[in-house]
């Protein structure tokens, strides 16, 4: 089993008994150090689904900081979370901050990330606002941490499905050279946000009380249903979410010719995205080498006699991969199934890992 993020009760000083490379975030290849020097951290979107998970992780991991400034829209100003009171986001909110994690949607990132950078604050952005910009690194620390060195103040956190898919595909790419993959996703409602979590919850309760299921966030009831559309359609017929899987995989893996086709689907699951993948490689594949590559990859757990499932993956720092088999429709291909907590590795955790690398 690959080394995974260590949860410990104590503060960073309690990690000193661990070998250097085992400390918190220390499994990141090449970055064998504990959470970096105390920083002044801003959190934009502090009351959203991802913002709350960032705070949960900071508390659970007892990550040290000089300041944690919670920021959100005017309507959330004054709200208290487990980490303190939320302030209304204004351009001057970033004064004196070292780094800010943005999890409030692309519009807010577009508007406020440049304000943060102007004030000397590095931005780690969870939205899609800057991912396509060549000068903005798009980072999964286990895969392309070295791309960080070129950042100019903004670093993008990849799309959650892309991150979870690539956590399984990157080690196989290293072994065999990835040329193409097909992906079908099974995405949890928490990826849409808190309102969608409430929508599934209230539909389930309505159903148990023999009441009607009323959709509001989604175009149809999500309880007992699957909805084959995540985000808006682009001209090609693929959705924005599906386009991200193509574009971001190419950027992160440094494979501009990579072929990707995906279908992104919302399912009535609260947390953790699952992805069925058929992948084609340049070199002949063999299963023992593939298994070893998956077993050895940091942040990934290969399950041989167990099924990766959302029910087992919630609030786990690793992604889980299984159902590995030679693909029957590719010459050099593998079929696999990967599950990850999209609020953690797909968002909050990956952002904190990037922060730990700065």
Binding status of residue 260 toward a second copy by CB under 8 A: yes
Structure tokens at 178: 């990835």
Closest to a second copy by CB, 129 or 246? 246
Binding status of residue 310 toward a second copy by CB under 8 A: yes
What CA–CA distances, in Å, run from 200 to 19, 146, 264, 275? 44, 40, 18, 21
Closest to a second copy by CB, 7 or 224? 224
CA-based Rg of the chain, rounded to a whole angstrom?
20
Structure tokens at 111: 């508007």
Smallest gap, in angstroms, from Cβ of residue 329 to a second copy? 4
| Residue from 237, 256, 284, 288 in contact with a second copy (CB under 8 A) | 237
Number of residues that bind a second copy (CB under 8 A): 53
Binding status of residue 79 toward a second copy by CB under 8 A: no
What CA–CA distances, in Å, run from 304 to 102, 211, 279, 292, 337? 37, 42, 18, 11, 11
| Residue from 26, 48, 299, 308 in contact with a second copy (CB under 8 A) | 308
Q: Residue for token digits 């396509």?
A: 132
Closest to a second copy by CB, 55 or 239? 239
Closest to a second copy by CB, 225 or 240? 225
Active site residues per annotation: 160, 273
Smallest gap, in angstroms, from Cβ of residue 263 to a second copy? 4
- Give pairs for 104-108: CB < 8 Å, separation 24+: 104/44, 104/45, 104/48, 104/51, 104/72, 104/73, 105/45, 108/44, 108/45, 108/73
Q: Which has the closest alpha carbon to 345: 125, 194, 167? A: 167
Binding status of residue 3 toward a second copy by CB under 8 A: no
- Residues between 187 and 216 with contacts to a second copy, criterion CB under 8 A: 204-205, 207-209
- Specify the pairing of strand 154-156 against strand 122-125: parallel
| Residue from 112, 130, 281, 330 in contact with a second copy (CB under 8 A) | 330
Q: How many CB atoms lie within 10 A of CB 179?
A: 18
Closest to a second copy by CB, 148 or 267? 267
Closest to a second copy by CB, 15 or 260? 260
Length of the chain: 358
Instruction: Say which residues have a Cβ less than 8 Å from residue 300's Cβ, sequence separation at least 6.
Output: 2, 142, 167, 168, 171, 294, 318, 319, 320, 321
| Residue from 37, 224, 254, 282 in contact with a second copy (CB under 8 A) | 224
- Residues between 269 and 298 with contacts to a second copy, criterion CB under 8 A: 269-270, 274, 276, 278
Binding status of residue 335 toward a second copy by CB under 8 A: yes
| Residue from 45, 191, 322, 340 in contact with a second copy (CB under 8 A) | 322
Containing 247, the helix (H) or strand (E) segment is helix 240-253
Give the three-state DSSP class for 298: coil
Smallest gap, in angstroms, from Cβ of residue 26 to a second copy? 31
Backbone angles phi, psi at 336, to 5 degrees: -155, 170
Binding status of residue 184 toward a second copy by CB under 8 A: yes
How many angstroms separate the CA atoms of 60 and 8, rounded?
8
Closest to a second copy by CB, 121 or 324? 324
x/- map, 125-144, a second copy, by CB under 8 A: --------------------
Residues in contact with a second copy by CB under 8 A are: 180-182, 184, 186, 204-205, 207-209, 219-221, 224-229, 236-238, 246, 259-261, 263, 265, 267-270, 274, 276, 278, 307-312, 322-330, 333, 335, 337
């Amino acid at each position: 089993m690959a080394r995974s993020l260590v949860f410990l009760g104590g503060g960073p000083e309690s990690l000193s008994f661990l070998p250097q490379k085992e400390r918190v975030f220390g499994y990141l290849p090449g970055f064998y150090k504990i959470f970096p020097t105390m920083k002044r951290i801003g959190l934009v979107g502090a009351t959203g689904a991802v913002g709350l998970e960032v705070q949960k992780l900071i508390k659970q991991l007892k990550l040290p900081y000089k300041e944690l400034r919670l920021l959100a829209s005017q309507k959330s100003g004054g709200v208290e979370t487990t980490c303190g009171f939320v302030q209304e986001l204004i351009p001057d909110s970033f004064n004196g901050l070292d780094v800010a994690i943005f999890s409030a949607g692309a519009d807010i990132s577009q508007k406020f990330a440049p304000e943060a950078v102007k004030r000397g604050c590095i931005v780690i952005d969870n939205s899609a606002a800057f991912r396509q910009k060549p000068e903005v690194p798009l980072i999964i620390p286990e895969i392309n941490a070295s791309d960080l060195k070129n950042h100019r103040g903004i670093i993008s956190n990849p799309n959650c499905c892309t991150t979870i898919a690539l956590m399984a595909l990157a080690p196989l790419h290293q072994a065999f050279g990835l040329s193409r993959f097909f992906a079908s996703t099974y995405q949890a409602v928490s990826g849409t946000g808190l309102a969608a979590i409430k929508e599934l919850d209230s539909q389930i309760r309505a159903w148990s009380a023999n009441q009607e299921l009323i959709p509001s966030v989604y175009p149809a009831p999500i309880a007992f249903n699957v909805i084959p559309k995540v985000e808006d359609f682009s001209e090609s017929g693929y959705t924005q979410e599906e386009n991200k899987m193509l574009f971001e995989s190419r950027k992160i893996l440094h494979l501009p010719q990579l072929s990707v086709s995906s279908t992104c689907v919302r399912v009535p699951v609260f947390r953790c995205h699952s992805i069925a993948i058929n992948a084609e490689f340049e070199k002949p594949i063999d299963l023992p080498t593939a298994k070893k590559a998956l077993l050895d990859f940091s942040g990934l757990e290969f399950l041989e006699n167990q099924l990766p499932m959302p029910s087992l993956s919630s609030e786990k720092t690793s992604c889980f991969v299984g159902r590995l088999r030679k693909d029957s429709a590719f010459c050099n291909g593998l079929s696999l199934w990967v599950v990850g907590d999209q609020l953690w590795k797909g968002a909050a955790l990956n952002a904190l890992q990037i922060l730990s690398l700065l």
